[in-house]
């Protein structure tokens, strides 16, 4: 009988144990391989070590090597390098990312593990420097990496950054991303980026993709190509001419928008004056100061509600109307009612009153301009395309003007006060004979006109600083609008204000701001010579 020795058993079991251990090691390696890419200290340190050089070309090659690596941290490394927040310990071999460099002591994290590393400063951390060429290269690399992940908006932003930044190093990866991209919008932006690169390489067929493109980078590149000689330059000039023609139309639309926004301010400033002038025949030179009062009311409400500009603006709309309206009623009761039928004396009295109000504001609030903060939804611009953007504060003022006009028109059309105002405007004596209390109508009308002027001040506070001389800039233009549109006519005021705003905006690029106002004034004078009633002749007459 043959017996197995203990030694022979151990020899046969050892290969089994070795195989089992090898399988466990391979399985562990397969499971932990993705995580090791982010925490592999040796490889990560070698990639970051290559950035620690003063040779910007070598630093660019190191950045490209990081992008081509499998490290999960590469996008954050490159973004930190671009932002000037990636550095190395001055007396050591540890790499850090600065999370906030606003103070003297910087919160830092380990660049490899992203664990908190305490604080650093300029004395302990050397930040890696980059130049403009490397910055452009990094933007292109990061954009290429961003195409591989993130939501559609992130990929679209990355594709947009690649326009003008595609080069020989990343063109193949961009093409591969374009083939894999599912979003048509992102594909279109990548097509533009690749076409622009193709034109730079002399590919005339790529010009077809760039036709009508309004991107400034496309325009600048085509301008450079068109300045040369040859068939490519000739075709580039044709594409560039089409782009310039398209931009010209959008420039006209932009001018129209700025003209309408400027006209909306004129309408708000003049519409209250048109009502009082039509009903009472009063030349109120203090109308500009009523606009100023509305603007200061907005500022005071915002001071009472710090950090809440939206709520402050919402409260300032009725507040500005009521405060300016109360001042209007006070002026009518104490000054205007005693000077009816004497326009020259009314003009002089209200001019003196305007000086008193200006000095009162200087005494109470100081002569310094005050700034009103617009809410977030009135800041910035609505970017329609590369050639046309509408600033939100001006767009908001335009909409506000139309709302105020519609409310005032409804008031005049469907209320008893509106009926009495129209009656007094057309024939004061007959209205009084029919039982209309003209004195009460005068007071309410003047208060209403002053309140609308206060709303104009609320709107102006979102466009410019608030100061004692705010209303003086609009008093002459307001009278021009009233006379040009027709005394006491709301539709005339709207058409005249918008027209003068657009005309002035069209003339300014040609002749300058001052001469444009002079030309508008002369034009209005000549128009009034031919049509004294204005655009819309008032019904009846002021008697």
Q: Given a cut of 80, is residue 336 above it in pLDDT?
A: yes
- For the chain, the C-alpha Rg in angstroms (whole number) is 36
pLDDT band at 3 (very low <50, low <70, confident <90, very high): very low
Give the angle subtended at the CA of 292 by the CAs of 360 and 276, to the nearest 5°. 105
488 part of a folded domain: yes
What mean pLDDT comes out for the span 357-383?
89
Structure tokens at 326: 């109360």
Domain final position from 80, 104, 130: 130
Determine the pLDDT at residue 156: 85
For residue range 474-485, list pLDDT tens digits in order: 888 888 888 888
Structure tokens at 465: 């600083």
For residue range 448-467, list pLDDT tens digits in order: 999 999 999 999 999 989 99
Q: In b/e form, how buried is each residue of 274-300, taking b as 16+ CB within 10 angstroms?
A: bbbbbbbbbbbbbbbbbbbbbbbbbbb
245 part of a folded domain: no
Determine the pLDDT at residue 168: 82
Identify whether residues 126 and 255 lie together within a single domain: no
CA atoms within 13 A on the CB side of 238: 8
CA atoms within 13 A on the CB side of 459: 30
Q: Scanning the structure block, which residue is given the tokens 């050639």? A: 387
474 part of a folded domain: yes
Q: In b/e form, how buried is each residue of 230-261, taking b as 16+ CB within 10 angstroms?
A: eebeebbeebbeebeebbeebeeebeebbbbb
Q: Are 487 and 540 in contact (CB under 8 A)?
A: no
236 part of a folded domain: no
Determine the pLDDT at residue 355: 92
User: Of 181, 182, 143, 175, whose CA–CA distance to 159 is shortest?
Assistant: 143
> What secondary structure, in 3-state letters, does 138-157 show?
HHHHHHHHHCCCCCHHHHHH
Residue 488, domain CATH: 1.10.3470
92 part of a folded domain: yes
Give the angle subtended at the CA of 282 by the CAs of 542 and 317, to the nearest 5°. 115
Domain that holds residue 125: 42-130
209 part of a folded domain: no
H-helix segments, 335-471: 343-365, 392-414, 416-426, 428-433, 438-460
For residue range 102-122, list pLDDT tens digits in order: 778 889 888 888 888 888 888
Count the domains in the chain: 2
Domain final position from 130, 165, 187: 130
Determine the pLDDT at residue 538: 60
Structure tokens at 94: 């540890």
Q: Given a cut of 60, is residue 15 above it in pLDDT?
A: no
Q: Given a cut of 70, is residue 38 above it in pLDDT?
A: no
Domain final position from 73, 100, 130: 130
> Strands 388-391 and 116-120: what pairing?
unpaired
* DSSP codes, 269-286: HHHHHHHHHHHH----TT
- Rounded Cα–Cα distance for residues 450 and 298 (Å): 15
For residue range 175-207, list pLDDT tens digits in order: 888 888 888 888 898 899 999 989 888 888 889
235 part of a folded domain: no
Q: Scanning the structure block, which residue is given the tokens 């609008």? A: 481
Determine the pLDDT at residue 357: 92
Residue count of the chain, please give it.
543
Q: Given a cut of 60, is residue 5 above it in pLDDT?
A: no
Identify whether residues 335 and 476 lie together within a single domain: yes
User: Of 323, 296, 318, whose CA–CA distance to 471 is shortest?
Assistant: 296
**Mean pLDDT for the chain overall:** 83
161 part of a folded domain: no
pLDDT band at 90 (very low <50, low <70, confident <90, very high): confident
Answer positive or negative: Cα dihedral of 260, 262, 265, 271: negative
Residue 336 φ then ψ, to 5°: -65, -40
What mean pLDDT comes out for the span 242-256?
91
What mean pLDDT comes out for the span 315-335?
93
- Rounded Cα–Cα distance for residues 172 and 156 (Å): 18
């Amino acid at each position: 009988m043959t017996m197995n020795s203990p030694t022979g058993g151990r020899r046969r079991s050892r290969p089994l144990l070795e195989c089992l251990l090898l399988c466990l090691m391979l399985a562990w390696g397969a499971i932990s391989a993705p995580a090791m890419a982010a925490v592999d200290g040796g490889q990560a340190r070698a990639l970051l070590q290559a950035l620690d050089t003063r040779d910007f070309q070598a630093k660019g090659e190191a950045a490209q090597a990081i992008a081509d690596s499998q490290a999960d941290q590469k996008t954050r490394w490159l973004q930190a390098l671009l932002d000037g927040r990636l550095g190395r310990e001055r007396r050591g071999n540890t790499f850090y990312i600065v999370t906030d460099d606003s103070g003297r002591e910087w919160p830092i994290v380990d660049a490899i593990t992203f664990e908190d590393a305490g604080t650093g400063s300029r004395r302990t951390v050397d930040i890696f420097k980059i130049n403009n060429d490397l910055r452009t290269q990094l933007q292109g690399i990061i954009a290429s990496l961003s195409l591989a992940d993130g939501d559609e908006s992130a990929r679209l932003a990355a594709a947009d950054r690649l326009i003008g930044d595609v080069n020989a190093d990343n063109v193949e990866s961009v093409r591969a991303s374009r083939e894999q991209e599912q979003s048509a919008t992102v594909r279109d932006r990548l097509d533009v980026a690749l076409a622009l690169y193709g034109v730079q390489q002399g590919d005339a067929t790529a010009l077809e993709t760039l036709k009508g493109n309004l991107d400034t980078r496309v325009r600048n590149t085509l301008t450079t190509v068109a300045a040369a000689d040859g068939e490519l330059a000739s075709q580039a000039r044709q594409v560039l001419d089409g782009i310039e023609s398209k931009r010209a139309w959008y420039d006209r639309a932009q001018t129209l928008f700025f003209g309408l926004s400027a006209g909306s301010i004129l309408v708000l400033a003049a519409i209250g004056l048109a009502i009082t002038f039509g009903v009472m025949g009063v030349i109120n030179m203090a109308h500009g100061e009523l606009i100023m009062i509305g603007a200061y009311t907005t500022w005071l409400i915002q001071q009472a509600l710090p950090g809440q500009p939206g709520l402050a603006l919402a409260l300032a709309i009725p507040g500005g109307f009521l405060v300016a309206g109360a001042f209007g009623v006070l002026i009518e009761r104490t000054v205007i009612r005693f000077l009816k039928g004497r326009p020259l004396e009314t003009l002089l009295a209200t001019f003196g009153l305007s000086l008193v109000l200006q000095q009162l504001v200087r005494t109470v609030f100081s002569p310094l301009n005050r700034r009103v903060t617009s809410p977030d939804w009135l800041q910035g611009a609505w970017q329609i395309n590369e050639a046309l953007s509408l600033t939100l504060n001006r767009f908001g003022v335009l909409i506000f003007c139309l709302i105020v006009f519609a409310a005032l028109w409804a008031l005049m059309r469907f209320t008893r006060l509106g009926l009495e105002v129209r009656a007094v405007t057309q024939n004061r004596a007959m209205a009084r004979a029919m039982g209309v209390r003209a004195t009460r109508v005068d007071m309410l009308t003047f208060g209403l006109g002053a309140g609308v002027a206060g709303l104009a001040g609320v709107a102006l506070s979102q466009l410019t600083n608030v100061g004692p001389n705010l209303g003086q800039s609009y008093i002459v233009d307001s009278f021009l609008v009233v006379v040009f549109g027709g005394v006491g006519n709301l539709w005339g005021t709207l058409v005249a204000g918008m027209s003068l705003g657009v005309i002035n905006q069209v003339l300014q690029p040609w002749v300058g701001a001052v001469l444009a106002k002079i030309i508008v004034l002369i034009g209005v004078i000549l128009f009034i010579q031919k049509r004294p009633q204005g655009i819309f002749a008032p019904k009846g007459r002021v008697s």
